[in-house]
Chains A and B, each alone.
Chain A
Amino acid sequence: MEKPKVATASLAGCFGCHMSVLDIDERILKLVELIRFDKSPINDIKEFTGRCLVGLIEGGCCNDENVHVLRNFREHCDILISLGDCAVNGGVPAMRNGIPLRECLEEAYLNGPTVYNPKKIIPNDKEIPLCLDKVYPCHHVVKIDYFLPGCPPSADTIWETLVALLNNKPLDLPYELIKYD
């Protein structure tokens, strides 16, 4: 039987959650026996090769490209998981949500006290995705099946979750793994 496929993406995140995936250490060898990574920064596969069982999403949606990628994941994955606080709640990037976008960009590129920008340019190359009016948690954009909180969720949490999912077992995380104070 063909191994189930797992895809991952980092949207408006810091790649910390992906680092946490790598933190499963040598268990990654066991993992690749169980699954095959599809589209993911881990293997640098850019496009989906087919339907996936699980999609892990790090980060919320801060620009139009994030939305495009997330919707693409929703269309290709049976199970979509919000991985980490930014995906679940918007996280640190969402701190800009109370400030209008133009004001935000002007503060960052023109008016901030440490800005050196003699040409007064707000970066606007056509390759740069356009920001959304605010940062949205993933479940505001598409349906999300599971939420794994944490900044980042620990490697053990991610490991236990994937193993439970792949074996079709209920997930029973010990208290230490979901305690965040």
Chain B
Amino acid sequence: MNKDIEKIVKQVCESNGQNKTKMMNIVTSLQERLGGLSGDVMDLIAKQTKVHRVEVESIVSFYSFLSKTPKGKIVIRLCNDIVDKMQGGEAVRKAFCDELGVKIGGTTPDGNMTLEETPCIGMCDQAPAALVNDVVFTYLSTDKAREIVRELKKHGDPKKIPHRLGDGNNAHDLVRSMVHNGIRKKGPVIFSDYEAESGLKKALAMSPVEVIREVKIARLRGRGGAGFPTGMKWEFTRGAEGTQKFVICNADEGEPGTFKDRVILTEKYDLLFEGMTIGGYAIGSDTGILYLRGEYLYLKAFLEEMLEDRRKKGLLGKDILHKKGFHFDIHIQIGAGAYICGEETSLISSCEGLRGDPKTRPPFPAQKGYLGCPTTVNNVETFCCVARIMDRGATWFAEIGSKGSPSTKLLSVSGDCSGPGVYEFPFGIKVRDLLKEVGAEDVQAVLIGGPSGQIIGPSDFERTICYDDLPTGGSIVIFNQERNILEVVKEYMDFFVEESCGYCTPCRVGNVLLRNGIENIIEGKGEPKDLDYLKELGESVKVTSRCGLGQTSPNPVLTTLKNFRGVYEKLVKKDEKGFQPTFDAKRAVGDAEKVAGRASVHY
């Protein structure tokens, strides 16, 4: 093997202490420097970190940002989320393909540029969007796509492509991104004026147990969507056996249509870091990990600088704010493009330098999490809420919002509306009021909580967004009357098929069967009994899957079967002869007709 490559691999492994739990950092940085991780490179990594080659390979083959075959120096990742497609993403895709002269997945003959598609990159409010290496391009058009390619051909540096800068910290020297925050409505909890560190100061004046009690009194529930009570999670983690404990922030917002954490990370990072520090104090941990999705790599340098800034101010490190014996620091773990890593046990696997496979529960992370130690994994927004609870008190926090769902929720709104962006609303808002606020007219369907949530129709618009009625991690996607609701379902099933980790059969196979079933109905090959079959199949996948992905992935099918029954019923018809409408004899015999050079006498 090339001596230079050998040197680079060695250097990267050594800079990570030849530590196998740093595998994600090793492989991502080598992918970036070498353009791909060949068999030789994997062998070398395995030798350096003292693991088997297959362990390295299992990681390389798992994450979509990593590859065995070399990719171009520049990788263009075009977001193929349905919202992007609704805003003209198809034309943009064609323009990229045409200008580069390659298909999706292809690399230009000179080996310089690779074109790929990727699920939601967290830019639905400014779609169509693409990542060029780690540089985000938003509001793409065919002209802009062509211009990007031409510029890249000229100088090969995505950072040099001229673009205007976004608002707020998007224009910061370490970000310099064209991304817009798109904060449309500020509420009292997250997007309000706030005296920095006042929450942390008040927390440190209390005992850790009192901090947890305050979070419990505030009835804070996880903002990722599942809504587990945060105080209880912290209490379990604090009470679990073990001297070393960890605080992990889940900033892997991969649910299509969600982008509120992007805005928090850009503008309210201080509130987040403060909340994580309070979490560390409460559970008795000295280490926090921010798991940042690979798509948000453009924020990494900025966030690291902000962490450094906090260290200088004595807000991270030893004896924080002169509190004797309270040490806490945060480091960033970058992901590499895997939706499943938003599931907390998969996220922990990924942090440990493994494939992002979910782990079997119990034991729960609160007992045995990161490296077998008690770990609390909380959403970005949850940590922000904690800082505000400490500052303003549990009563203040609990009085906002609805009865079972205190406080506010950030909603990432996109799709067919005049005001896509991030909204902070108190829990309990009616869907109808929300739609009015975001300027959505002629609405056919609303996706609440992303594809793993529910697709509802107008008859449900009087319902409210809260944990007890329509829970959501923040993703709201609106579809007007012109959209084909079954195409929407199919797109989301495609997404789950792609993102299933493949570990358990119900999820790996079931999602494909569901997707194919929907496709058949769209093509007019469906029969009335197929609707019952899809329902039964979807429910089986939910019940028998190992982790949250398969336990929710049938939801686009199941909720539309319930809420848009009429759409399905119009498309299905019974075959009177007893033939299978899905079997196309003409197509099945096509290959043989070509080989034999004669037509079938039957079909």
CB-based contact A75/B578 at 8 Å: yes
Contact A124 B596 (CB under 8 A): yes
A102 adjacent to chain B (CB < 8 Å)? yes
**A131 contact set on B, CB distance < 8 A:** 589, 591-592
Q: Which residues of B lie under 8 Å from residue A133 when comparing CB positions?
A: 587-592
Q: How far is the CB of B15 from chain A (nearest CB, A)?
A: 44
Shortest distance from the beta carbon of B502 to any chain A beta carbon, whole Å? 18
Tell whether, in the assembled complex, residue B598 and residue A143 are in contact, meaning their CB atoms are under 8 Å apart: no
B600 touches A (CB below 8 Å): yes
B-contact bits for A99-143, CB 8 A (1 contact / 0 none): 011100100000000000000001010100011111010011111
Chain A 28-67 interface 0/1 with B at a Cβ cutoff of 8 Å (1 = within): 0000000000000000000000000000000000011101
Are B585 and A67 closer than 8 Å at their CB atoms?
yes
In the complex, what residues of A have CB within 8 A of residue B587's CB? 133
A141–B595 CB distance below 8 A = no
Given A64-B600, A67-B603: A102 touches B595 (CB 8 Å cut-off):
yes
Cα-based distance from A151 to B339 in the complex (angstroms) = 43
With both chains docked as a complex, state the minimum distance between the C-beta of B457 and any C-beta of chain A, in angstroms. 33
Cα A102 to Cα B596 with chains together (Å)? 10
**A3: Cβ under 8 A from any B Cβ:** no
- Chain B residues with Cβ under 8 A from A27's Cβ? none
Q: Contact: B596 with A139, CB < 8 Å? A: no
A136 B589 Cβ-Cβ under 8 A: no
Q: CB distance A142 to B579 under 8 Å?
A: yes
CB-based nearest A residue for B577 = A75
The residue in chain B whose Cβ has the minimal distance to the Cβ of A134 is B588
Known contacts A64-B602, A74-B577, A141-B580; is A122 also within 8 Å of B595 by CB? yes
CB distance from B490 to the nearest CB of A (A): 21
> In the assembled complex, which residues on chain B have CB atoms less than 8 Å from the CB atom of A68?
602
How many chain A residues have a CB neighbour from B under 8 Å?
27
Residues of B within 8 A of A143 (CB): 575, 578-580
Q: Residues of B contacting A101 with CB < 8 Å? A: 591-592, 595
B578 touches A67 (CB 8 A): no
Residue ID in chain B nearest A71 by CB atoms: B579
Q: Is B597 an interface residue (CB 8 A)?
A: yes
Contact A142 B578 (CB under 8 A): yes
| Distance A156 CA – B590 CA, assembled complex (angstroms) | 41
User: Does B108 belong to the interface (CB within 8 Å)?
Assistant: no
A67 shortest CB reach to chain B, Å = 5
Query: How many of B's residues come within 8 Å of A, CB to CB?
Result: 24
Q: How far apart sit A124 and B588, CA to CA, in the bound complex (Å)? A: 18
Residues of A within 8 A of B578 (CB): 74-75, 80, 142-143
Query: Which B residues lie within 8 Å of A126 (CB)?
Result: 598, 601
A80 to B578, CA, bound (A): 10
Report how far A68 CA is from B588 CA in the complex, Å. Answer: 13
A130 pairs with B579, CB closer than 8 A: no
Q: Which residue of B lies closest to A69 (CB)?
A: B602
Contact B580 A64 (CB under 8 A): no
Which one of B591, B600, B602, B603 lies within 8 Å of A100 (CB-CB)?
B591
Cβ of B580: which chain A residues have Cβ within 8 Å of it?
A: 139-143
Central interface residue in A65, A134, A141, by most chain B CB within 10 Å? A141
User: B591–A124 contact, CB under 8 A?
Assistant: no
Is the C-beta of B58 less than 8 angstroms from some C-beta in chain A?
no
Pair A64/B585 contact, Cβ less than 8 Å: yes
Closest-CB distance, A34 to chain B (whole angstroms): 25
Interface centre among A132, A133, A142 (most CB of B within 10 A): A132
Contact B579 A132 (CB under 8 A): no
- Does B582 make an interface contact (CB < 8 A)? yes
Closest beta carbon of chain B to A33's beta carbon, Å: 30
Rounded to whole angstroms, the CA-CA distance of A124 and B594 in the bound complex is 12
In the complex, the chain B residue whose C-beta lies closest to that of A131 is: B592
Q: Which residues of A contact B591 (CB under 8 A)?
A: 100-102, 131, 133
CA separation between A132 and B585, bound complex, in Å?
8
Complex Cα distance, B584 from A134, in Å, reads 12
Q: Which residues of A contact B579 (CB under 8 A)?
A: 71, 74, 141-143
Q: A160 to B590: give the CA distance in the assembly, Å.
A: 41
CB-CB under 8 A from B597, the residues of chain A are 124
> What is the distance, in angstroms, from A88's C-beta to the closest C-beta of chain B?
15
CB of B437 closer than 8 Å to a CB of A: no
Contact call B592/A141, Cβ cutoff below 8 A: no
Partner of B602, one of A67, A74, A102, A140: A67
> A132 — which chain B residues lie within 8 A by C-beta?
588-589, 592
Q: What residues on A are CB-neighbors of B594 within 8 Å?
A: 102
> Chain A contacts of B600 at CB under 8 A?
64, 130
A130 contacts B589, C-beta separation under 8 Å? yes
CA–CA, A16 and B596, complex, Å? 30
Task: State whether B595 touches A105 (Cβ < 8 A).
Answer: yes
List A contacts of B589 (CB < 8 A): 64, 130-133
Contacts of A130 in B (CB 8 A): 589, 592-593, 596, 598, 600
Chain A residues within 8 Å of B598, by CB: 124, 126, 130
Minimal beta-carbon separation of B600 from chain A (angstroms): 5
Nearest B residue to A67 by beta-carbon distance? B585
Show 13 residue pairs from A and B whose CB-CB distance is below 8 angstroms, ordered by the A residue: A64-B600, A65-B602, A68-B602, A75-B578, A126-B598, A130-B600, A131-B589, A131-B592, A133-B590, A136-B583, A139-B580, A141-B580, A142-B580
B interface with A by C-beta (< 8 Å): 575, 577-580, 582-583, 585, 587-598, 600-603
- Given A102-B595, A132-B589: 11 more A-B contacts, CB < 8 Å: A67-B585, A71-B577, A75-B577, A75-B578, A105-B595, A133-B587, A133-B589, A134-B588, A140-B580, A141-B580, A142-B579
**Pairs of residues from A and B, 7 with the lowest C-beta to C-beta distance, nearest first:** A130-B592, A132-B588, A101-B591, A143-B578, A68-B602, A131-B592, A64-B602
